[in-house]
Amino acid sequence: PTTPALSSTPPCAELHLHIEGTLEPELIFELAGRNGITLPYASLDELRARYRFTDLQSFLDLYYANMDVLRTEADFADMTRAYLRRAAAAGVRHVEMMMDPQAHLVRGIPLETSVRGVCAALAASEEEFGISTALIAAFLRDRPAEEALDVLEDLLAMEAPIIGIGLDSAEVGNPPEAFIGLYRRAREAGLRTVAHAGEEGPSHYIEQALDLLLVDRIDHGIRCLDDPELVQRLVHEKIPLTICPLSNVRLQAVDSLAAHPLPQMLEHGLNISVNSDDPAYFGGYADDNFRAVQEAFGLDRAQLGLLAANSIEASFAPPGRRAELL
């Protein structure tokens, strides 16, 4: 089902998107069929009934399990192309997508397969969908930092076309400090850096990501509101926070959409953008997220315009492309 792009949503960049989180139930069944995999669900409805989450981990369990259907380069390319097609309809003009190479390596899928598959679809994106793209290799913070460093070295050795690295997966108990060496190496290699922080984890993980990992952007960061001094710092330093409203609701990081802190964040003057995170799991793509916050908070055109402009200015797109989109 395609939802029409919100007419009042200006062109925007999607900065917080996990490509594996765009795997829709229909495609899961299609890829399972193509690869001769028997799914533990008898029907689409049985799979869809599993999409009720109580926290981040309850989602991650299904997210990692469903990835098992991704086996060939073509599988990764088809998933990526399906996302780009849907994002174009949502009004997304530039996307910086994360992928989780380790999640595929640990189940025996070579780095070349996942990276080449995703990149094949990205390479055609500007021409096919009018969406400029960049790829961010995200590392799993609930796995050893040494493994992450090995994978980064392999990505660099194969000259994978990544522009940056990220940090995702189970946050609580896995603070940024364990990944100082990984981020130092990434910076040395000329890569940009982002990290999930303050989604479920405490506000001091946001400070660690800034002070120890020296990240360019924070993914989520909603828990910064627990610390007024940190809020002032984020405002002063104009640190971009990639906010994912429907994700926060579905993972119960907030009690309801009405209780989402996005209006307070705007009020404080924080540099926030609206993103979809894992749209196949959380009930919506970029336009759905914009529509949800517009309806919940009665945002006006100027506020929607600011959110979209923030996304473009916080992107790693070349200055010429950013100017074109603003």
Annotated binding site: 16, 18, 196, 277-278
User: Does the footprint of ligand HPA cover residue 247 (CB under 6 A)?
Assistant: yes
CB of 251 to ligand HPA, least distance (A): 7
21 binds, among ligand HPA, Zn ion, none (CB under 5 to 8 A by kind): ligand HPA
Selected binder of ligand HPA within 73, 96, 277, 287 (CB under 6 A): 277
Q: Distance between CA atoms of 94 and 187, rounded to whole angstroms? A: 23
Q: How many alpha carbons fall within 13 Å on the CB side of residue 120?
A: 15
CA distance 145 to 88: 36
The reply to whether 14 belongs to the active site is: no
Q: The tokens of 170 are what?
A: 């189970």
Q: How many residues bind ligand HPA (CB under 6 A)?
A: 11
Burial (CB < 10 A; 0-12, 13-18, 19+), residue 319, is exposed
Closest CB to ligand HPA among 169 and 310? 169
Q: Is 56 in the site for ligand HPA (CB under 6 A)?
A: yes
Written as one letter, the residue type at 223 is R
Give, rounded to a whole angstrom, the gap between the first and last alpha carbons of the chain: 29
102 binds ligand HPA (CB under 6 A): no
CA-atom Rg of the chain in angstroms: 18
Which residues are CB-neighbours of 70 under 8 A, at least 6 positions away?
20, 23, 31, 76, 79, 104, 109, 114
Partner in contact with 250, chosen from ligand HPA, Zn ion, none, beta carbon below 5 to 8 Å by kind: none
Query: What mask, x for binding ligand HPA by CB under 6 A, covers residues 185 to 204?
Result: -----------x--x-----
Query: Structure tokens of 261?
Result: 């802190």
Distance of closest approach, residue 324 Cβ to ligand HPA, in angstroms? 29
Cβ-based nearer residue to Zn ion, 113 or 276: 276
Task: Write down the catalytic residue from 96, 199, 200, 207.
Answer: 199
C-beta of 172 vs 235, nearer to ligand HPA: 172
Residues 300 and 171: their CA atoms lie apart, in Å, by 34
Q: Which of 102/247 has CB closer to ligand HPA?
A: 247
Q: What residues contact 185, with CB distance under 8 A and at least 6 apart?
A: 149, 152, 153
Q: Does 310 sit near ligand HPA (CB under 6 A)?
A: no
Least spacing, CB of residue 196 vs ligand HPA, in Å: 5
User: What's the residue count for the chain?
Assistant: 326
Task: Pick one of ligand HPA, Zn ion, none as the site partner of residue 56 (Cβ within 5 to 8 A by kind).
Answer: ligand HPA
15 CB neighbour count, 10 Å cutoff? 29
For 238, phi then psi, to 5°, come to 55, 40
Q: How far is the CB of 23 from ligand HPA (least distance, A)?
A: 11
**Which residues in this chain contact Zn ion in the complex, by CB under 5 A?**
277
| Interaxial angle between packed helices 145-157 and 180-188, expressed in degrees from 0 to 180 and rounded to the nearest 10 | 10
Rounded CA gap, 88 and 11, in Å? 10
Residue positions forming the annotated binding site for Zn(2+): 16, 18, 196, 277
Among 113, 169, 271, 289, binds ligand HPA (CB under 6 A): 169
Nearer to ligand HPA, 8 or 57 (CB): 57
Which residues of the chain form contacts with ligand HPA (CB under 6 A)? 18, 21, 56, 63, 168-169, 196, 199, 247, 277-278
**Which residues are tagged catalytic?**
199
